[in-house]
Structure 1
Amino acid sequence: MHFASLPSERAGARPDGPCLSDETVGTLTNQAFAARVEAASRVFATHGVARGTVVAVRLPNRVDLVVTLFAAWRLGAAVTPVNPALAHGEAGYQVADSGARVLVTHDGLSLEGATTLAPEDLTAPRAGVDVSLAEPDLDDLALLVYTSGTTGRPKGVELTHANLDAMTATMVEALSLDEDDHSLLILPLFHVNGIVVSVLSPLRAGGRATIAGRFDPRTFFATLEAARPTYFSGVPAIYTMLANLPAEVEPDTSSLRFVACGAAPMPGALISRVEERFGVLLIEGYGLSEGTCASTSNPLDGVRKPGTVGVALPGQTVAVMAPDGTLVPRGERGEVVIQGPTVMRGYHNRPEETAQALKDGWLHTGDVGILDEDGYLRIVDRMKDMIIRGGENIYPQEIEHAIHAHPAVLEAAVVGRPHPVMGEEPVAFVALREGATLDEDELVAFLTQRIAKFKLPTSVTFVDEVPKNPVGKFDKPRLRATIASAGASAMSPGEETS
């Protein structure tokens, strides 16, 4: 389906049915949502938004952001969601790189080349403006989602309506979504997971979505109990915070059919802790923006294997590839590669990087993985995060999972540190659960029983919280920068950084 027509279709089928909710507008019916989309499209049209143009939207999680998506699509335009936390220069780069004609923002930010509109402007009357539905074309660009930029300047991932159609159809099938489903959105709407899993998929299925504000573990369950959703999607950091809440927090989770986790592999011990404490079924999946969100998932009904991210979703092929481009047998590790209708069109204005990512008909993920005999995928680590110590390959995620098995540990991240003889060595950053105590010697002794000696971290830094990037993944570039800074400051004046 083409999402441009969804608001009017829902309004025609069930005008008074609930559609979207947030704390600013309450609950919008299908008819009210369709009216807002049409009004916003009239406003956009007066500012030159049409097929082939781009609208940038820089808003916190709220209904107006979803209205912007559908209003732009109604005119045949694409949308680039901008992280509200970006600095002026960072936001300016994305708006300029995307070629956005209009910027919808809540704080009056003005950027060269784009007309700034406030959310309130989207409801202004625009009589006489032609907002007839653009001729639907599934090959049109729908979303321009920018990567986090950990390997350089952020890149715009081009996702078409065909990508969204395939991904949401898969989500509806895999999660058995229907008109009774109600998602609670807690992930940021500038990321494809929040848009696809928590908004577009339930709306396509005839269900509804409640858009929560910024995630706060102290207030989350009150929000959940008031909204009574059937599911929500989170990242490991969110589940870590929920699992660490005081024992007296005993929420009513009876409305939930399941909860989902993505963005980064989740330790099996944490999955068990969340399921046992809150009485929920946790479905872990795997994907990336370049694949329109998800490519594998543990099944809702069937065998779930904690420690894996499940099997390939319908319509997609997931394989493991050797450096020479051949596919490796089950049980052997290599780069995870993906084929299917959810694979991006390419990186915006980056032909060389597009060719590298989509080489030989496969999306190259940069993740190291292993497929077991049943086709369940285990993510070993990011290729660029691998540590080579004295010729031995070390995958930080394996060490992180071993550390996480200690009952005192809340979260842990491992990165490589340069070593003059061994090349690199693993170092760990660890945050403890509230009230827990643990020292480096105790942790290393614990790990000695679980991982090989050459994998043991050579130093452990205890921190209040392991830093994370905007989508909830451990911010390893920041940790590496911390190590580099500490190393530089420890040098004598005559030493060189090489």
Structure 2
Amino acid sequence: MRSRNLGACFCRETAGEKIALIEPGPPVRQTTYAELQTEADAVARGLVAHGLTRGDRVGLMAMNSREYLAAYFGVMRAGMVAVPFSYKLAPPVIEHICRDAELKLLFIDEGQEPKAPGFVETIRLDAPAFEDLKDPGPFAVVEPDPGEVGMILYTSGSTGVPKGVLLSHDSQRWSLERGSKAAGDRCDAIYIVAAPMFHMNATISTKGAFWNGATVVMLPAFDARAYAAAIPQFGVTTLTSVPTMLALVAREGDALGGLDFSSVRDVTMGSAPLTQALIDKVQALFPGAKISNSYGTTEGGPSPFGPHPDGVPRPALSLGYPHPGTGAELLEGSGPDEGVLYLKNPMQMNGYNNLPEKTVEVVRDGWYRTGDIMRRDENGFFYFIGRADDMFNVGGENVWPGEVEKLLETMPGVHQACVVPAPHETKGMAPFAFVVPSPRAELTEDAVKQFALSNAPAHAHPRHVEFLDAIPLAGTNKPDRNALTARAAELVRGAM
């Protein structure tokens, strides 16, 4: 019987000497299942000896590494709560998280000391202090009570300070069990993880791989060329990523030097809107792979959708059909098949940390209001339209940035687009498009505008177009819409 503790979510049938983790380096470092679990036990024992007790919160603010994983799993094995968050956040935000979570200890790595608040004890994962903390020996994993919190993930805080999402061992285990059943035997799979471990995409992918006894190739952070090079070097079969990551890989084009990606069997892109243009580019990169569009939220679970129960083929842009045990309804729209997605399933959060009033705002009678606008087709497949918060009004007409982006990315020469609202003299707000051209493409602002006018309602066409070498990314590797919105406003006001 496998432990209910997320810190011990490893496949029991996997041989201890099988490689669990590969870090490309240089130098390449390989870690077996036995070694990783032994190190996690040593961390758990060390935390207890250090005076921490069950329920204490322990932060992780560092890049991806074997040490990070050992600390992450060790914290939960000891019955404590793991709190991963971004090292790229501003110091005031980091201080807010440390106070809000009431951290008793914070694991960091090189370069993070200046950002770490002085009121929290810190231990560097890449220094002797981490070795000193560990207490080698067997450890009896703490079996959590029903609903006991195992992890807190902080939201990106696009509308104020980040909120701590309380996630139980049970909720995440249900996700792993359901995901494993849907995917089938993955024991021979080799995953690649480059998204940060403070993001649900990376945490659930890593735990899912270990749950199935697979191998994870882990990069400390995302770099398009390093990511691409690691795929043939280690025979990667399974890619889970944010769409912008693979957009950056695809844009490398000739720079990839004819790398052999024939080992790749499955590519899943999620956590952000996906366009057909990007699917086509990714399919061209990995011609032998099955491409899947995924969806999930920190609060409502990592992937509530999957295959159709009657075997109906899943359309490329569809998120899938609700998994058994998942309720999915579309409300607040013009009809039953378009509106805000509400979810109800065992993967949901316990609530927001220290924010009961915010919890009540989004969870009613067990239903979580995602804030994502979707539509449902005649076969019951769901499609993402946009965030309710991202929609803006142009002279009385609603504009969904994601829909305009999908259109622009069908234009020859456009590799990627990000659309945000910008001030307009008569409309109040109007679309502003940031466009990354394809290599050697010759695009003009007027050509992009005319393409949009010819293929979409006039109110949705970009009034301004700015060309970029790359779309700036937030810490989660999604487009940094806040930064681009501010940049658009600055450019528009400067031109007035």
TM-score with structure 2 setting the length: 0.91
Partner of 1:249: 257
The whole-number CA distance in structure 2 between the counterparts of 1:9 and 1:442 is: 53
> Does the C-alpha gap of structure 1 residues 111 and 3 become closer, same or farther in structure 2, counting only changes over 3 Å?
farther
Higher deviation after alignment, 299-308 or 389-398 = 299-308
Which of the residues 452, 459, 482 maps onto 2:457?
452
Partner of 2:123: 117
Asked if 1:102 corresponds to 2:102, the answer is no
1:33-76 residue CA offsets vs partner (Å, 9 max, x unmatched): 12101111122112332211111011101111111121111111
SS state at 1:124 partner = helix
Root-mean-square deviation (CA), in Å? 2.5
Q: Which amino acid aligns with 1:238?
A: M
Asked if 2 retains the 8 angstrom alpha-carbon contact of 1:369 and 1:380, the reply is: yes
Partner of 1:372: 377
Q: What aligned pairs does 1:26-425 form with structure 2 within 5 A after superposition?
A: 26-107=29-110, 109=113, 110-119=116-125, 120-124=128-132, 131-197=139-205, 199-247=206-254, 249-279=257-287, 280-297=289-306, 303-322=313-332, 328-330=335-337, 333-425=338-430
Q: Which amino acid aligns with 1:312?
A: P
The whole-number CA distance in structure 2 between the counterparts of 1:175 and 1:121 is: 40
Q: Which amino acid aligns with 1:249?
A: G
> Does the C-alpha gap of structure 1 residues 137 and 178 become closer, same or farther in structure 2, counting only changes over 3 Å?
farther
Q: Which amino acid aligns with 1:149?
A: G
Residue 148 of structure 1 deviates from its aligned partner by 0.7
Partner of 1:494: none
Partner of 1:495: none
Asked if 2 retains the 8 angstrom alpha-carbon contact of 1:243 and 1:274, the reply is: yes
The whole-number CA distance in structure 2 between the counterparts of 1:407 and 1:299 is: 34
Partner of 1:433: 438
Partner of 1:14: 15
Residue 302 of structure 1 deviates from its aligned partner by 5.7
Residue 235 of structure 1 deviates from its aligned partner by 1.4
The whole-number CA distance in structure 2 between the counterparts of 1:177 and 1:441 is: 51
Unaligned runs of 5+ in 2: none
> Does the C-alpha gap of structure 1 residues 262 and 360 become closer, same or farther in structure 2, counting only changes over 3 Å?
same
Partner of 2:448: 443
SS state at 1:286 partner = coil
Q: Which amino acid aligns with 2:120?
A: A
Q: How many residues align?
A: 485
Identity, in percent, stands at: 27
SS state at 2:147 partner = coil
Residue 128 of structure 1 deviates from its aligned partner by 10
SS state at 2:430 partner = strand
SS state at 2:486 partner = helix
Higher relative contact order, structure no. (Cα contacts within 8 Å, ≥ 6 residues apart): 2
Q: Which amino acid aligns with 1:471?
A: T
Asked if 1 retains the 8 angstrom alpha-carbon contact of 2:431 and 2:462, the reply is: yes
The whole-number CA distance in structure 2 between the counterparts of 1:358 and 1:2 is: 29
SS state at 1:385 partner = coil
> Does the C-alpha gap of structure 1 residues 488 and 195 become closer, same or farther in structure 2, counting only changes over 3 Å?
same
Partner of 1:496: none
TM-score with structure 1 setting the length: 0.91
The whole-number CA distance in structure 1 between the counterparts of 2:427 and 2:325 is: 44
The whole-number CA distance in structure 2 between the counterparts of 1:459 and 1:12 is: 57
Asked if 1 retains the 8 angstrom alpha-carbon contact of 2:41 and 2:136, the reply is: no
